[in-house]
Amino acid sequence: MDKRVVENKAHLVGPIIRHRIQDSLFYKEKLHLTNELSIVPIIVSQVHFIAGTDQTGRPSPFICCLLRLLELEPSPAIIRLLLKQNGYNEFKYLTALALLYYRLVYDAREMYALYDEFIGDYRKLRIQLKTPKFENSLPVHYDLIHMDEWVDSLVVEERVVDLTLPYIAPRSLYVERGEADVRVYGGESEEESYESDSD
């Protein structure tokens, strides 16, 4: 069964993490009474990195805001507005959050179309490591990725930020059915790229 087909979209977040989020101080103080409009300033001002839960199980502002969006179930028009921000793309973590929401809620064909829009976006994002890595004997808790890597992980990976993503079929299947465009790499289609590699 497709995980997206649930009455309450909040259930796309597993029960253990969902309850931790709802019990967290951040959720209770900042998000509990928000609506589709009032949540946006919270995301912009409070979300400064991508993460699920940390080593202690404490949920990040990023995943807290994701759950609240799932509870609110904004219309597709509002999600597009969060993605594009009227064409300015000023708030990158708002975009990253909306991309994850899109991946969880909408079907593969729509996600692959969105993928093509953002695979050329190279804005830097901080992502929190589950366990710190050490550089020069000092713990490093964050890594840098780019928006294109983030959108790629949403299509390729089975899990991101402690969430199991709904199954997504390979793009080639939708291309064969005429339900998705062939991905283009720098002016060369995916099929042309494969053929030139074979030569």
Q: Is the pLDDT of residue 13 over 90?
A: yes
pLDDT in tens, 134-156: 888 888 899 999 999 999 999 99
> Which helix (H) or strand (E) covers residue 64, if one does?
helix 61-72
Percent of the chain with pLDDT over 70: 86
Residue 187's pLDDT is: 42
Query: Would residue 198 count as lying in a domain?
Result: no
Q: Tell me what the mean pLDDT of segment 70-89 comes to.
A: 86
Whole-angstrom Cα distance, residue 96 to residue 161?
Answer: 12
Whole-angstrom Cα distance, residue 40 to residue 60?
Answer: 16
Query: Would residue 184 count as lying in a domain?
Result: no
Query: Would residue 91 count as lying in a domain?
Result: yes
Radius of gyration of the chain (CA): 18
Closest by CA position to 25, among listed 46, 55, 9: 46
Structural domain of residue 109, as residue ranges? 9-177
Residue 136's pLDDT is: 85
Query: Would residue 155 count as lying in a domain?
Result: yes
Query: Would residue 1 count as lying in a domain?
Result: no
pTM (two decimals): 0.86
Query: Would residue 98 count as lying in a domain?
Result: yes
Q: How many domains does the chain have?
A: 1
The least confident of 56-60, 61-65, 136-140, 162-166 is 136-140
Query: Would residue 97 count as lying in a domain?
Result: yes
Query: Would residue 199 count as lying in a domain?
Result: no
